[in-house]
Structure formats: C-alpha cells, structure tokens
Amino acid sequence: MVFPDFSSAPKASSGFTLPWNKDNLPKQLWINNEFVSSKSSKTIEVYNPKDGTLVANDVPVAGQDDVDAAVAAAEAAFPKWKKTLPRERRDLLNKLADLMIEHLPTLATLTRVTLGMPSGGFGTMEINVAAEAVRYAAGWADKFPGESHMQEDGFMKITRQEPLGVVAAIIPFNAPIAVLCHKIGGALITGNCFIIKPSEKTPFATLALGQLAKEAGFPPGVIQVLSGDGSTGALLASHMRIRGITFTGSAATGRKVQEASAKSNFKRVTLELGGKSPAMIFDDANLDIAVAWCVNGITMNSGQACVAASRVYVQEGIYPKFVEAYRAALEARAKTVGDPDESSTQMGPIVDKLQFDRARGFIERAKTQHKLLTGGIDGYFIPPTAFTDVPEDAEIVKTEIFGPVAVINTFKTEKEALAKANDTEYGLFAGVFTQDINKAMRIVAETESGMVGVNCMSYASTSVPFGGAKQSGVGRESGIDGLRGFTEPKTVFINLNY
C-alpha cells in the first residue's frame, strides 16, 4: 500500500518514556488504563521472521472473563465519554498522535521484532501514517454533521448521529498500527469506547499504544487492548454487549465475524477484506510511471498488503517494453531484500513460517506450470517474483497470496482489459494507466472496485473512503464514511402544528 509522506519531526518531549524494547516486551492485557494479568492460562508463541528465533512464548490469550472485564470497563466509561465535549476528544486524539511520533522508534521496533517490517522503509512510514489518521479524525470534532429536513408537513425533522457504544476492532498483522488508527480515530471522535484485539503475530506495539493513550489523557475504560488468537476475536464478535465490530483480514474470517454478529445481537459490522488488485496498462501509458507504481504496489511490506498490485494487464503494443522494465525494477528491488534492522533494507521477510510456506507453495506450484519472469525463494525471504502469460483461471491469478508475487498478462482491447480485471471475487483496488482521460474515466465507471487509481496504484488516503466491493468488504474506513460506520442515525420529529 502506498501512502503520502506524512513524516514529521516530533514536538517537544512529553517527558514520558515507554519502557519497552525487543528484549522487554509488553505481555499483559490493557484494561481500564492498566496492565493486568489474563484470567486465562492460555498463551501463544511469536517468532522473529528474519531468522525464526522465538521472541516470546507467554503472550496471553484473552478468554471470556477477560473480554467480559474489558466490556464492563468500557460500558462504565461510555456514559461520560459520549458526553465529553468534542473539542476535548479532539485534543486527546491530537495528543495521542504527538506521542506516537515521539515514540516512533519504540513502536516500530515492537512491530519489527515479529513482522520484519524494515526500519528504514515501511516500518517508519507506518507510524507516520497512523498518526496522520488519528489527526484527521480529530479534525472532525466540530464538523461531523447531523441533518435537518424540510418542514412542508408541519414537522421539523432532525437526524442525529449518535455513538454505537462499546465497539471492538480485530486488527491484522501486516500494518498493525496504521490499520488500527484508521479505525480508532473515527470510533473515539464520535464518542464510542474501543476494545482492540491485535493480531497474534504482532501484538506488542498495540499493547504499548494503550499506555500512550493513558499518557495522552484518555480516561480509564475508553481504550482496551486484549492480546489473543482467533478464539478471542470470536468472543468479541459474538459478545451481546458489544454494539459494533470492525475487522480487517481475510474474506474467510470476515465471513465468520459477520455470522457471529448475526447469531448474537446484530452488532454493526465493518469488514475490510482481501484483494487481488489489477493494474491495466494501455499502450499510451507513461511506461516509467506505470512500472514504478506497479513495482511499489507489489513489493511494499513484502507484498503483505490487501491492495497489492498482484495482477498486471498490459496492452500488447507496450507489453515487451513493460515486461523488460518491470523485470529490471523487480531485480533492482530484490537487492534491497534483507535484515529489517538494517537501514538500507526496503523489503524484509514474510511475517512467519505459516505465511512463508503458503507463499512458497504458490510459487513452487506456479514454477511447474507457468513462465517465471524473475524471483523465487531465498532462505526466510521471498524476493519480488513475477510470472508471465498465465491462464486466467490459474490459482496465482485467482487467489490472494499476501506476498511479493505478481502475474503479468496481455490484453488487446479496452473491453478485454475490463473483462479480465473484473473476473475476480475481489474488488478492493484497481489501477488504469493511460494518457487519455476519457478512456480512464470509462474504465473507472466500469471497474468493479471500491477504489480506482488513474496513473497510480495501491494508494490510500485518510481523507477519502477506504474499502472494497464484492468479497473485499462491507462498509468503509477513513473519510466521513469512516465516522458514520461508528454512529447510529436517530431521526427526531418535532411537531410544529400546535
């Protein structure tokens, strides 16, 4: 995923110091503004993906009693929190963003130790993007509108946007702080209390964020963090007193979250799911621009992004030149694969053995059936890999791999490009590269995708909705739509006929 550059120098030091580092990790639950031991005896192991070494074997898995305690604390905090003045909520969120930037090296380290996100690349940018998402939501404090309606029948009608109450978030491993902050800002600025379940693969930075929220001044119970595995997520999704849940992850797990909501209390559900994002490169495209965006779109965060540019369709006239330029760019990027602790590294390892073996399986099977352009396997690392001339029904065309693996195929006509791009159950992001704006807008109108880039790919912004069509999700994050997902519209009728 490609974001604008939101890097900024931290403001004057707050005087607060997070006590954590790669050798001293937060391994308790964050409930009611303090670390507490889990009431469950179940724990999980996490590993360093660059070499497979054990990082911790005692990360708690929150059970039913822990979830109930977090919900009770949130319910106790909600009546006062929802009445907190919007400007006060704004100031707290801005303070949290400042603290995130101040403690960026620590947060990045806590993520890198189990994700392998490079310190000199996406690992730093992720925290900057996260802080900007929080600041963006804070800016809505005095601007998020209700509505008033015509009085032609003698009734004044008002629509209020009211918080849902206690809401929960299930966060993926691939960009834990950035994904979280695109959810938490909208939830908190609209007056909700928030329970977070980070991925079992990358829990530590999110737990530390709970401490930063307390330091920012958030009251007890407003923000809770529960480490755990899928069983913890299931407890949140099915809890009768949680009124909303936002999930980012696979379509298969998203379906389970939706089902759990329906079987419990019909809580509000927002799902940001997978993608198999196509880029359509026309003969008149700027070759350098198209190659750069497509390469960045498949290699950022080692391809572990829902909007990764994993399907590239190139018009026949430019295809040979594009393939050679794309190959050269991937091979140049492959030279930056390595130790995520080194500042020169741009691509780190895949998050863990399970995901590595999955991606490796796709590559090894594809090598026996399709033409390998470049890449392959190198120890714990997967360099940028691409296949060409692959049948449209092949598994590497249809299935989200979540690794730096792309397919390049050709098309003749605009109609064929659209047919191939839309031939998927996903619909998160699509890109079109052309210098003909009329053609671009025709493609935009016919592409079955929640987001479309014209001469860009795999892009995101805090100020506009983020989400997909088809099996790529339900609802939206970011922009004003991201706030609406955490509110319930209430219609008020005022009788003026007496």
The domain that holds 373 is classified in CATH as: 3.40.309.10
151 domain residue, yes or no: yes
The CA-CA-CA angle for residues 133, 8, 199, to 5°, reads 45
Asked if residue 496 belongs to a domain, the reply is no
Total tally of structural domains belonging to the chain: 2
Catalytic residue at 272?
A: yes
User: Are 107 and 240 within one domain?
Assistant: yes
What value, to the nearest 5°, has the Cα angle with vertex 312 and ends 307 and 317? 150
Same domain, 295 and 391: yes
Which candidate in 126, 200, 215, 272 is catalytic?
272
Pairwise CA distance, residues 119 & 113, whole Å: 10
Task: Express each pLDDT in 79-91 by its tens digit.
Answer: 999 999 999 999 9
The confidence band for 9, taking pLDDT boundaries of 50, 70 and 90, is low
Q: What is the average pLDDT value for the chain, to the nearest integer?
A: 95
- Which residue's structure tokens are 């399970």? 354
The answer on 366 and 240 residing in a single domain is no
Tell whether 11 is covered by a domain. no
- DSSP secondary structure, 70-92, as one string: HHHHHHHHHHHHTTS-HHHHHHH
pLDDT for res 123: 83
Instruction: Tell me the C-alpha to C-alpha distance, in Å, between residue 270 and each of 370, 434, 475.
Output: 37, 33, 5
DSSP conformational letter for 300: G
Are 252 and 298 members of one domain?
no
Inter-residue contact 157 to 131 (CB < 8 Å): no
Distance between CA atoms of residues 92 and 188, nearest Å: 10
Looking at the DSSP bridge assignments, the partners of residue 149 are 157
Cα–Cα–Cα angle for 485, 175, 420, rounded to 5 degrees: 75
Residue 37 and residue 109 in one domain: yes
Per-residue confidence at 70, pLDDT binned at 50, 70, 90?
very high
Structural domain contains residue 68: yes
* Cα(117)–Cα(201) distance, integer angstroms: 13
Residues 304 and 164 in one domain: no
Judge whether residue 343 has pLDDT over 90: no
**Do 247 and 372 share a structural domain?**
no
Tens-place pLDDT, residues 201-255:
999 999 999 999 999 999 999 999 999 999 999 999 999 999 999 999 999 999 9
Other C-beta atoms closer than 10 Å to the C-beta of 290 total 27
> In this structure, are residues 168 and 196 in contact, taking their beta carbons and an 8 Å threshold?
yes
- Decide if pLDDT at 3 tops 70: no
pLDDT, tens digit, 9 for 90 and up, residues 94-127: 999 999 999 999 999 999 999 999 987 788 899 9
298, amino acid identity: I
* 330, 264: one domain: no
Helix axes 176-189, 204-216, angle to 10 degrees: 40
- 347 and 245 in a common domain: no
Q: How far is CA 475 from the centre of its chain?
A: 14
Band (pLDDT 50/70/90 cuts) for residue 63 is very high
**Same structural domain, 177 and 264:** yes
The answer, yes or no, to whether residue 2 has pLDDT greater than 90, is no
Other residues' Cβ atoms within 10 Å of the Cβ of residue 277: 31
141 in any annotated domain: yes
CATH number at residue 243: 3.40.605.10
Residue 10 reports pLDDT greater than 70:
no
Q: What percent of the chain has pLDDT above 90?
A: 92
Q: How far is it, in rounded angstroms, from Cα 380 to Cα 302?
A: 12
* pLDDT of 120: 77
* 159 neighbors 149 (Cβ within 8 angstroms): yes
pLDDT at 254: 98
Burial class (CB in 10 A: 0-12, 13-18, 19+), 351: buried
Rg of the chain over all Cα atoms, to the nearest angstrom: 23
Q: Are 125 and 152 in contact (CB under 8 A)?
A: no
Residues near 109 by beta carbon (within 8 Å), at least 6 away in sequence: 21, 22, 119
Q: Determine the Cα–Cα distance for residues 302 and 316; give it in Å rounded to an integer.
A: 29
- Residue 316 phi, psi dihedral angles, 5° rounding: -55, -35
In a domain, 87, yes or no: yes
For residues 168 and 299, membership in a common domain is answered with no
Read off the pLDDT of each residue in 338-351 and give the average, rounded to a whole number: 92
- Judge contact between 59 and 30, C-beta under 8 A: no
Do 172 and 114 share a structural domain?
yes
pLDDT the model gives residue 379: 67
Structural domain boundaries, residue 360: 278-462
Averaged over 361-365, what is the pLDDT? 96
Q: What share of the chain is helix, strand, coil (3-state, %, to 5)?
A: 40, 20, 40
Q: How would you classify the pairing of strands 166-170 and 29-31?
A: unpaired
Residue 52 lies in a domain: yes
